């Protein structure tokens, strides 16, 4: 197939873009801004989803909590034997956690049993310095990045926490969580379950919730249903459900913004149409000259559409770059507030973003195709100019 002619037209189209600067700037600027917003939403959404997936990896297969009057209360350890009787259960481990207020901030203290709790291999991605909890540990903690920064803590430093009775407890920091889990671990203090019991004054007969691990992941839903049947009043959360809830929320928010963005795209298409239609006499004469030199109507149309494609690619590239800067260095103000949207107020933290190949491809697609649509009819009208306009002087 002959492609040299098309490469020649591409060269001509690039020259045209630099010749008609006003049109180029108007279309590029408006499309770039539109794509910056859409790209920002896509990248923030992708980052939040990725972070949610990584964070959910550390959740147990099933979490069993106890509710009274709609609020969570400590669950009796007697339920462990009830749960363990269900077929398909590998083990049930207690977890003791709660909140503390210190220096006008709320932190979460989570106590786990490192001897019993299965540690997923992704732990390597979750700990940036130090190590995870070990079986023999006592009075040690792994802290979230934000907390470490707030208290200027590093590995081997001492963290002093005060419980509700104002009694101080010393913990040696043995690890700090990474940025990748920051959304959920920013203010987390991970300790052993024994230390947590001492701190919160919860006896060995109770736990905050029970972590259930199944032998076969595909059976999780059925086991969860069985637990619900066997322990009335329990709230049973599967890892999949937790993950799905988060992904669903982020996905829905990005979808909402994307639909609102249609209005912005319509404005851009109108700008493109307007600019393409405002073809000066000089541009019409140029078409006449080209046709008298042997360019066909299809050739002119191809050149005009190539111009639209180049502008689309240029705008998308700039828009994506700006979106990354907006998200990464400015923290995506307005968009991040909407995307996170929790009732709780988060402390400030760097927003996670994820630039996936698919999102980038889609952004290029929604830059190029609508621009082609907007420029098509004006390009055609220009292309069917009679060649004798060149003879008649336009």
Which parts of 39-98 interact with other proteins (CB under 8 A)?
41-42, 45
C-beta of 296: minimal distance to other proteins in Å? 4
Of residues 368-387, which lie at the interface with other proteins (CB under 8 A)? Answer: 369-370, 372-373, 376-377, 379-380, 383-384, 386-387
Whole-angstrom distance, CA of residue 74 vs CA of residue 67: 9
To the nearest 10 degrees (0 to 180), the angle between helices 357-383 and 297-328 is 150
When asked if residue 322 is in the footprint of other proteins (CB under 8 A), the reply is no
C-beta of 259: minimal distance to other proteins in Å? 5
The distance in angstroms from the start CA to the end CA of the chain is 36
Return the DSSP state at 218: G
Whole-angstrom distance, CA of residue 39 vs CA of residue 335: 11
C-beta of 372: minimal distance to other proteins in Å? 5
Q: Tokens 């992904």 correspond to what residue?
A: 247
When asked if residue 355 is in the footprint of other proteins (CB under 8 A), the reply is no
When asked if residue 29 is in the footprint of other proteins (CB under 8 A), the reply is no
Residues 102-131: x where in contact with other proteins by CB under 8 A, - otherwise, as a string: ------------------------------
Nearer to other proteins (CB atom), residue 107 or residue 250: 250
Of residues 136-165, which lie at the interface with other proteins (CB under 8 A)? Answer: none
Nearest to 114 by CA among 177, 182, 193: 193
Nearer to other proteins (CB atom), residue 30 or residue 79: 30
Whole-angstrom distance, CA of residue 27 vs CA of residue 307: 11
Of residues 217-236, which lie at the interface with other proteins (CB under 8 A)? Answer: 218, 221
Question: Is 61 within 8 Å of 212 (Cβ atoms)?
Answer: yes
Whole-angstrom distance, CA of residue 303 vs CA of residue 175: 60
Nearer to other proteins (CB atom), residue 346 or residue 369: 369
* Range in contact with other proteins (rule: CB under 8 A) among 81-89, 140-148, 195-203, 366-374: 366-374
Instruction: Give the pair of three-digit tokens for residue 333.
Output: 């103000």
C-beta of 378: minimal distance to other proteins in Å? 11
The count of chain residues that interact with other proteins, using the rule CB under 8 A, is 72
Would you call 387 helix, strand, or coil by DSSP? coil
Of residues 277-306, which lie at the interface with other proteins (CB under 8 A)? Answer: 285-286, 289-299, 301, 305
C-beta of 286: minimal distance to other proteins in Å? 6
Would you call 384 helix, strand, or coil by DSSP? coil
Nearest to 5 by CA among 225, 295, 274: 295
Cα-Cα-Cα-Cα torsion 17, 22, 23, 26, nearest 10 degrees, comes to: 120
When asked if residue 391 is in the footprint of other proteins (CB under 8 A), the reply is yes
Nearer to other proteins (CB atom), residue 144 or residue 312: 312
- Residue 70 region, left (φ>0) first, then alpha (ψ -120 to 50), else beta? left
Nearest to 208 by CA among 99, 120, 119, 126: 99
Of residues 243-272, which lie at the interface with other proteins (CB under 8 A)? Answer: 243-244, 247-248, 251-252, 254-259, 261-262, 265
Nearer to other proteins (CB atom), residue 119 or residue 266: 266
C-beta of 12: minimal distance to other proteins in Å? 6
Residues 179-208: x where in contact with other proteins by CB under 8 A, - otherwise, as a string: ------------------------------
Largest CA distance in the chain: 99
């Amino acid at each position: 197939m002959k492609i040299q002619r098309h490469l020649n037209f591409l060269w001509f189209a690039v020259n045209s873009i630099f010749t008609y600067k006003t049109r180029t700037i108007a279309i590029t600027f408006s499309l770039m801004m539109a794509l910056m917003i859409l790209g920002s939403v896509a990248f923030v959404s992708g980052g939040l989803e990725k972070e949610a997936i990584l964070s959910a990896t550390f959740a147990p297969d099933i979490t069993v909590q106890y509710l009274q009057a709609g609020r969570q209360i400590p669950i009796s350890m007697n339920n462990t034997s009830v749960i363990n009787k269900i077929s398909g259960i590998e083990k049930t481990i207690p977890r003791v956690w709660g909140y503390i207020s210190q220096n006008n901030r709320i932190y979460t203290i989570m106590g786990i049993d490192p001897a019993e709790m299965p540690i997923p291999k992704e732990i390597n991605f979750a700990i940036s310095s130090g190590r995870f909890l070990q079986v023999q540990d006592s009075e040690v903690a792994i802290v979230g990045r934000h907390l470490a920064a707030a208290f200027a803590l590093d590995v081997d430093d001492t963290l002093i926490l005060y419980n509700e009775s104002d009694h101080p407890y010393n913990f040696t920091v043995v690890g700090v969580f990474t940025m990748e889990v920051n959304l959920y671990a920013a203010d987390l203090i991970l300790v052993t379950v024994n230390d947590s019991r001492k701190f919160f004054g919860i006896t060995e007969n109770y736990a905050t919730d029970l972590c259930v691990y199944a032998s076969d992941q595909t059976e999780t839903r059925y086991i969860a249903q069985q637990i619900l049947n066997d322990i009335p009043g329990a709230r049973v959360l599967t890892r999949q459900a937790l993950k799905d809830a988060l992904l669903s929320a982020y996905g829905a928010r990005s979808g909402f913004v994307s639909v609102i963005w249609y209005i912005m795209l319509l404005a851009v298409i109108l700008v493109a149409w307007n600019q393409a239609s405002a073809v000066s006499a000089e541009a019409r004469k140029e078409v006449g000259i080209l046709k008298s030199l042997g360019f066909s109507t299809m050739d002119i149309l191809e050149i005009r559409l190539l111009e639209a494609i180049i502008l689309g690619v240029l705008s998308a590239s700039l828009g994506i770059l700006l979106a990354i800067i907006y998200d990464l260095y400015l923290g995506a103000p307005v968009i991040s507030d909407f995307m996170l949207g929790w009732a709780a107020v988060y402390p400030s933290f760097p927003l996670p973003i994820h630039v996936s190949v698919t999102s980038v491809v889609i952004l290029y697609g929604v830059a190029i195709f609508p621009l082609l649509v907007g420029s098509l009819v004006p390009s055609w009208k220009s292309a069917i100019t009679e060649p004798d306009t060149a003879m008649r002087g336009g």
